Chains A and B, each alone.
Chain A
Amino acid sequence: MDYFWGLFISGLTKGSIYALIALGYSLVYGIIELINFAHGEIYMIGAFTSLIVVSLLLMEGMTGWGALLLSLIVAVIYAAAYGFTVEKIAYKPLRQASRLSPLISAVGMSIFLQNYVLLAQTPDFLPFPNLIPEISFLKRIFPLMTPAEIAILLTTACLMVVVTFIVKFTKMGMAMRAAAQDRMMALLLGVNVNRVISHAFILGSSLAAVAGVLIATHVGRVNFYMGFIAGLKAFTAAVLGGIGSIPGAVVGGLVLGWAESFGAGYISSDYEDAFAFFLLILILIVKPSGIMGRATQKM
């Protein structure tokens, strides 16, 4: 039975990470109908930036979760900056173009960022220190989970609440929702659509950065290629749950996380990555609008 719970927890953990990244895809896709292929790379840059800051801080003698927190803040700032910049360079000039152009540009951006980090840093897998403290009362509540896993779960839950709040109750959130529903109309009503899009990218990138730092802590290492597969799967999660929907990102993430965990645990661990792919095909055939999505005529 412990085996089952072990898988359940690892699925929960993975799913939370997917959900955080998936949210970034959803926010952007909802407004400009573009899959931000480079989103996975933002997640990776968040992780790398955090590693750099943590290493510096540790060298200076700072210890523990304070260093981690500080690096997280810096990582978020930088990831948001990267996301903002990517949008301005690779997507904004192509907003009027055909569907194919921004897509190719996005793929190009993704490749560029991967290799940028590869060349500027290293192709190696760099170890990431584990700085999350063991809080005893938490350990009693969640006995089977490591501190990193607890951190992931709690952080994701909190962030989901925060994001929902932002989208539902703040002015910017409402502007985002308006732009997602009807960009032209929002523009005509005086919404600064450019600003809204930038904000969507900033918010999404920030979430991805947090995911990156959490995963780096949990898995214990970072690598320039980590964004590629994670991005692909997170996108699957977003589609699974219903692209454009925030609860959908969570649902999709968790479903995918559990599918992978249990699939790897009970069916085959070699083909863990394949489960995501099959789920993607399945949902696109059966219900393209996703689990939580509203069925639309166009696809």
Chain B
Amino acid sequence: MSRDEVLIIRNLTMTFGGLKALDNINLEVRKGEIVGLIGPNGAGKTTIFNCITGVYKPVDGDIFLHPPVGKARRLNGMAVHKIARLGVARTFQNIRLFSHMTVLENVMVGRHSRGQSGVIGAILRDRKTKEEEEAIVRQSYAILEKVGLNAMVNELAKNLPYGDQRRLEIARALATDPFLLLLDEPAAGMNPMETMGLANLIRGLRDEGNLTILLIEHDMRLVMNLCDRIYVLDYGEKIAEGTPEEVRTNPQVIRAYLGEECYA
């Protein structure tokens, strides 16, 4: 186990009723990497995300988190909000914004876990609370500038165009101050130009923000361009891993995506 690993998954197995969604998955993500997770629909990619973030409790196997500061932890069965506070943030496959809150407020909610003030502070608005509030507003605005949404601060989240909503989800996730960011199909529904912008954003986040990114995507061009390494899943099993070049030419991967006939 090298010092570089941020996330280590060993023998992860997940079943629902009789259905085995994940079968003995092994996976590592190293600090500063952008790792892709691809595979046909239903392969179990989001299930892995849900296991990591604590939405599901794995039936078998281990998920270890190695934060840059602090000790290593086993994430199995930990509460969702506790895992988020450790520094693991995510976006969702189907956009799950707080629709009736403004863009700024969505991001401010992301800052919740980095704040302290409670009911008493809310009522008294003492200096400490006020300073914290101002900091939250400032930091949220800065994040919105980073993703390019600062013009829409007071717009209701539900009124945003689709591509911007996806960006907002990323901004919200960033607000939790994570070191590991899980993006679930961030480019879904985006046109090529938006996708390019997204790629630049993600790369920027990794380069400047010291983030490690695990990415589920279907847009192959994005994946090949962006990712350092890729894992391929099919029917709950890992069928390939490696650099984009290695994966692209892997016969098993091709077969999984295109069916038996085409071998190239």
A96 at the interface (CB under 8 A from B): no
CB neighbours (8 Å) of B56 from chain A are: 297
CA distance A297 to B17 in the complex (A): 10
CB neighbours (8 Å) of A295 from chain B are: 17
CB neighbours (8 Å) of A294 from chain B are: 17
A271-299 to B contact mask, C-beta < 8 Å, 1/0: 00000000000000000000000110100
The smallest beta-carbon distance between A289 and chain B, in angstroms, is: 12
B1-37 to A contact mask, C-beta < 8 Å, 1/0: 0000000000000001100000000000000000000
Residue pairs across A and B with CB atoms within 8 Å: the count is: 4
The smallest beta-carbon distance between A23 and chain B, in angstroms, is: 25
CA distance A294 to B19 in the complex (A): 14
Chain B interface size, as a band, is under 10
Chain A interface size, as a band, is under 10
CA distance A24 to B17 in the complex (A): 27
CA distance A294 to B17 in the complex (A): 9
The smallest beta-carbon distance between A293 and chain B, in angstroms, is: 12
- In the complex, residue of chain A having the shortest beta-carbon distance to the beta carbon of B17: A294
CB neighbours (8 Å) of A297 from chain B are: 16, 56
The smallest beta-carbon distance between A44 and chain B, in angstroms, is: 37
- In the complex, residue of chain A having the shortest beta-carbon distance to the beta carbon of B16: A297
The smallest beta-carbon distance between A242 and chain B, in angstroms, is: 15
The smallest beta-carbon distance between B19 and chain A, in angstroms, is: 12
The smallest beta-carbon distance between A14 and chain B, in angstroms, is: 34
- In the complex, residue of chain A having the shortest beta-carbon distance to the beta carbon of B99: A98
The smallest beta-carbon distance between B22 and chain A, in angstroms, is: 14
CA distance A295 to B15 in the complex (A): 12
B38-65 to A contact mask, C-beta < 8 Å, 1/0: 0000000000000000001000000000
CA distance A99 to B56 in the complex (A): 24
CB neighbours (8 Å) of B16 from chain A are: 297
CB neighbours (8 Å) of B17 from chain A are: 294-295
CA distance A297 to B15 in the complex (A): 11
- In the complex, residue of chain B having the shortest beta-carbon distance to the beta carbon of A294: B17
In B175-194, which residues have CB < 8 Å from any A CB?
none
The smallest beta-carbon distance between B94 and chain A, in angstroms, is: 13
The smallest beta-carbon distance between B53 and chain A, in angstroms, is: 14
CA distance A297 to B16 in the complex (A): 8
CA distance A243 to B32 in the complex (A): 48
CA distance A294 to B56 in the complex (A): 17
CA distance A294 to B18 in the complex (A): 12
CA distance A187 to B17 in the complex (A): 26
CA distance A236 to B17 in the complex (A): 25
CA distance A295 to B56 in the complex (A): 14
- In the complex, residue of chain B having the shortest beta-carbon distance to the beta carbon of A295: B17
In B153-212, which residues have CB < 8 Å from any A CB?
none
The smallest beta-carbon distance between B58 and chain A, in angstroms, is: 13
The smallest beta-carbon distance between B49 and chain A, in angstroms, is: 14
CA distance A121 to B203 in the complex (A): 72
The smallest beta-carbon distance between A84 and chain B, in angstroms, is: 32
- In the complex, residue of chain A having the shortest beta-carbon distance to the beta carbon of B55: A297
The smallest beta-carbon distance between A179 and chain B, in angstroms, is: 21
- In the complex, residue of chain A having the shortest beta-carbon distance to the beta carbon of B56: A297
The smallest beta-carbon distance between B150 and chain A, in angstroms, is: 29
The smallest beta-carbon distance between A296 and chain B, in angstroms, is: 9
The smallest beta-carbon distance between B55 and chain A, in angstroms, is: 8
The smallest beta-carbon distance between B54 and chain A, in angstroms, is: 13
CA distance A297 to B47 in the complex (A): 12
CA distance A160 to B107 in the complex (A): 53
Which residues of B are interface residues toward A (Cβ below 8 A)? 16-17, 56
Would you list 4 pairs from A and B whose C-beta atoms are within 8 A, ordered by A residue? Answer: A294-B17, A295-B17, A297-B16, A297-B56
Which residues of A are interface residues toward B (Cβ below 8 A)? 294-295, 297
Chain A to chain B: the 4 pairs with minimum beta-carbon distance, closest first: A297-B16, A297-B56, A294-B17, A295-B17
